[in-house]
Chains A and B, each alone.
Chain A
Amino acid sequence: MTNKLSLSQATMRSRVAGIVAHVLLIGASIAMIYPLLWMLSASFRPENEIFTSTSLIPSSFSLTSYVQGWNGLPVSFGRFFRNSFLIATLCVVGNVFSCSLAAFAFSRLEFRGRRICFALMLMTLMLPYHVTLIPQYVLFRELGWVNTFLPLVVPKFLAADAFFIFLMVQFFRGLPKELDEAAMIDGCSPWRVYWKVIMPLSMPVLATASIFTFIWTWDDFLGPLIYLSDMPQYTAMLGLRTFVDSSGVSNFGGLFAMSVLSLMPVFGFFLLFQRLLIEGIATTGMKR
């Protein structure tokens, strides 16, 4: 009898605790997401309402901010978005290509100097990029690459993002070694093993690497800020920054509308590949 009573008390208590947890979590998620939703709704508001309302629903729905923002600078935002897409896509291709080659060598092939090369690669992983920033700038300037996309894209084709090599090495090591050993004994060259055996089996890690490369280069600010100075070459992030500078307070609607648009590709990846992103974070502990 008493046993039963205490049991029901216990379930009662855990149910209350569950409700409290939900209330806390719902409150926290609203507080966190509210600014984002507010910016979204502000981008559809008439300009004069942006500074007066705290609500999420605009009194009237207008696309003026988008039109004004799109054409708010001497060069249209369409051009900036096109530049960002081009750079991010090239970076994805470069990273997947060069990092998977290096990762294949590190994880699947025996060669002299492997350990030392791998250790050097790991060291660059920890290095703050500021230490290489100025010499790289001087180098690219000497090559006449300033004001082109090359300084932003070419390093990706040279596996400069050691993080992704590391990510792929971890994944490749998890694939059964018998597969490529059997293929090599049958006379397959390492190239065929790489292309026909390892790559097709590595779609998950290649997808993770592609998505994170895209997001990071899309959001990159310092690189374009240093290397791109002609407005027609600007990325979306540089366009936003120029918008803040030039219009300041005068065209907040347009600024918000373009900010919302610039977040959309990242948000799209979030909607489509959430599982992949979260698994990527959970297994590697990336910073974001």
Chain B
Amino acid sequence: MTVLKSPGAVAPRGGMVRAKASRQYSSTQRAAYLFLLPWAIGFLCLSLGPILWSLYLSFTDFDLLTAPDWVGPANYVRMFTADPKFMISVRITFVYVLFSVPLKLAFALAVAMLLNRGIRGLPLYRALFYLPSLLGASVAIAVLWRQLFAGNGLVNRFLAQFGIEGPSWISNPNYSLWTLIILAVWQFGSPMIVFLAGLRQIPADVYEAARVDGAGRWRQFARITVPLLTPVIFFNAIIQTIDAFKTFTPAFIISNGSGNPVNSLLFYTLYLYQEAFGYFRMGYASALAWMLLIIIALFTAFAFLTSRYWVHYDE
């Protein structure tokens, strides 16, 4: 057994054994590198190389046709001083993240708690709530959303039954972003499943003890459920936030790729796409990509740094 671990660990029981062991060890080494070969090629050519290359491109002017032209930090300077659309896209994306993620997680947790009461029909409910988040990434759902919130869409026809005349939600810059936030919240299914798995881990006797001590439902929620669930909440929040920063498809479909009305759907990634593949400003778009990486990294670092104050890990 030790043969596999490391050649040095083999007891010196004679040259034969050691020779055989080291032969087997080095052949294992060779095999390991062959196993890793596809990944290694992919890592070098599709990850590491491109990362460094895009960092370089972010300091250049590059239109695909002529060689990249070094401009120093001009692209980054332009973002913050001479590009109102960059600021708009950052603001829109932040508003979206700030509202969609907490709302989505709140729904996910609330429904998970309802389902965790040992309720009958759990598999059916769970499946129904999960379905939108499985389908949700499709262009087809964005098409549906476009129609739901159109001037003559289903939502307005529903409101009309109560005598309310709704606006065209998707073409009104005051509401368009909210239709996308609703779309995100509608997909609360997968964090709900993660919460359900987390709630299962909380032993029932903890609640039992709290009840005996006279703790009401709210106290049980605030003092037992939430603290014991903080690792899961933390995990869900990170995953969902990073995902929300990258939202692209629904904004593209609902605004026909324009980010309109009045740039109210100009999500960060949509703006990046326009700069790169609409105007072929590859240098500037690379700078935008790096800025996104920095934003996400800062957010993640912030979350991990503050986590020691509110995330309780079972030691």
Which residues in A have some Cβ–Cβ distance to B below 8 Å? 17-18, 21-22, 24-25, 28-29, 32-33, 35-36, 38-39, 51-54, 97-99, 101-102, 104-106, 109-112, 114, 117, 120-121, 124, 126-128, 130-139, 141, 155, 157-160, 165, 181, 184-185, 189-191, 194, 215-216, 219, 221-222, 225-226, 237, 240-241, 244-245, 252, 255-256, 258-260, 262-263, 266-267, 270, 274, 277-278, 281-283, 285-288
B131 x A270 contact (CB < 8 A): yes
| B40 nearest in chain A by CB position | A117
Task: Give the interface SS of chain B, mostly helix, strand, loop or mixed.
Answer: helix
Q: Roughly how many angstroms separate A136 CA and B53 CA in the complex, as a whole number?
A: 10
Given contacts A110-B28, A270-B127, 4 further A-B contacts (CB under 8 A): A139-B50, A155-B42, A240-B143, A281-B190
Which A-B residue pairs are the 9 nearest by beta carbons? Answer: A158-B42, A135-B50, A259-B140, A111-B32, A105-B35, A132-B50, A102-B39, A282-B197, A159-B39
Within 8 Å of chain A (Cβ to Cβ): is B157?
A: yes
A124 x B47 contact (CB < 8 A): yes
If the complex has contacts A158-B42, A190-B28, are A219 and B269 also in contact, measured as CB distance less than 8 A?
no
B5 x A127 contact (CB < 8 A): no
Checking B31, B48, B139 against A189 with a beta-carbon cut-off of 8 angstroms, the contacting residue is B31
Residue numbers in B under 8 Å from A262 (CB-CB): 138-140
A138 x B146 contact (CB < 8 A): no
What's the least CB distance linking A218 to chain B, in Å?
8
Residue numbers in A under 8 Å from B46 (CB-CB): 132, 136, 155, 158, 160
Q: Roughly how many angstroms separate A283 CA and B34 CA in the complex, as a whole number?
A: 30
Within 8 Å of chain A (Cβ to Cβ): is B134?
A: yes
Counted as pairs of residues, one from A and one from B, with CB atoms less than 8 Å apart, the total is 271
Checking A102, A159, A259 against B144 with a beta-carbon cut-off of 8 angstroms, the contacting residue is A259
Q: Roughly how many angstroms separate A263 CA and B141 CA in the complex, as a whole number?
A: 9
Selected interface stretch from B69-77, B78-86, B235-243: B235-243
A54 x B161 contact (CB < 8 A): yes
| A140 nearest in chain B by CB position | B46
What's the least CB distance linking A1 to chain B, in Å?
22
B42 x A110 contact (CB < 8 A): no
B114 x A244 contact (CB < 8 A): no
Residue numbers in B under 8 Å from A32 (CB-CB): 128-129, 131-132, 186
Q: Roughly how many angstroms separate A104 CA and B27 CA in the complex, as a whole number?
A: 15
Which residues in B have some Cβ–Cβ distance to A below 8 Å? 1, 3-6, 24-25, 27-29, 31-33, 35-36, 38-43, 45-51, 53-54, 57, 64, 111, 114-115, 117, 119-121, 125-141, 143-144, 146-148, 152, 154, 157-158, 161, 186-187, 189-190, 193-194, 196-197, 235-236, 239-240, 242-243, 245-246, 248-249, 252-253, 256, 269, 272-273, 276-277, 282, 285-286, 288-290, 292-293, 296, 300
Checking B31, B64, B289 against A138 with a beta-carbon cut-off of 8 angstroms, the contacting residue is B64
Q: Roughly how many angstroms separate A266 CA and B242 CA in the complex, as a whole number?
A: 24
If the complex has contacts A138-B282, A282-B196, A287-B239, are A221 and B33 also in contact, measured as CB distance less than 8 A?
no
What's the least CB distance linking B246 to chain A, in Å?
6
Residue numbers in A under 8 Å from B147 (CB-CB): 39, 252, 256
A-B contact pairs, 19 of them (CB 8 A): A21-B117, A28-B111, A32-B132, A101-B39, A104-B35, A111-B32, A112-B29, A128-B245, A131-B54, A135-B49, A138-B282, A160-B42, A181-B4, A185-B3, A221-B252, A240-B139, A244-B143, A287-B190, A288-B187
B117 x A109 contact (CB < 8 A): no
Checking B28, B193, B277 against A281 with a beta-carbon cut-off of 8 angstroms, the contacting residue is B193
Q: Roughly how many angstroms separate A217 CA and B114 CA in the complex, as a whole number?
A: 34
What's the least CB distance linking A130 to chain B, in Å?
4
Residue numbers in A under 8 Å from B276 (CB-CB): 133-134, 137
| A129 nearest in chain B by CB position | B246
Q: Roughly how many angstroms separate A255 CA and B141 CA in the complex, as a whole number?
A: 11
A270 x B134 contact (CB < 8 A): yes
What's the least CB distance linking A148 to chain B, in Å?
17
Q: Roughly how many angstroms separate A102 CA and B31 CA in the complex, as a whole number?
A: 11
Q: Roughly how many angstroms separate A252 CA and B154 CA in the complex, as a whole number?
A: 13
Checking A97, A127, A288 against B136 with a beta-carbon cut-off of 8 angstroms, the contacting residue is A288
| B244 nearest in chain A by CB position | A287
Residue numbers in B under 8 Å from A36 (CB-CB): 131-132, 135, 144
If the complex has contacts A32-B129, A110-B6, are A191 and B143 also in contact, measured as CB distance less than 8 A?
no
Q: Roughly how many angstroms separate A120 CA and B28 CA in the complex, as a whole number?
A: 22
| A266 nearest in chain B by CB position | B135
Q: Roughly how many angstroms separate A215 CA and B25 CA in the complex, as a whole number?
A: 40
B45 x A158 contact (CB < 8 A): yes
Q: Roughly how many angstroms separate A64 CA and B276 CA in the complex, as a whole number?
A: 40
What's the least CB distance linking A258 to chain B, in Å?
8
A121 x B39 contact (CB < 8 A): yes
What's the least CB distance linking B301 to chain A, in Å?
11
Q: Roughly how many angstroms separate A127 CA and B289 CA in the complex, as a whole number?
A: 11
Residue numbers in B under 8 Å from A114 (CB-CB): 32
Residue numbers in B under 8 Å from A267 (CB-CB): 131, 135
The winner among A32, A135, A259, A278 for most chain B CB atoms within 10 A is A135
Checking A120, A260, A287, A288 against B140 with a beta-carbon cut-off of 8 angstroms, the contacting residue is A260
A237 x B36 contact (CB < 8 A): no
What's the least CB distance linking B214 to chain A, in Å?
14
A134 x B39 contact (CB < 8 A): no
A130 x B28 contact (CB < 8 A): no
Q: Roughly how many angstroms separate A156 CA and B190 CA in the complex, as a whole number?
A: 24
Q: Roughly how many angstroms separate A35 CA and B144 CA in the complex, as a whole number?
A: 8
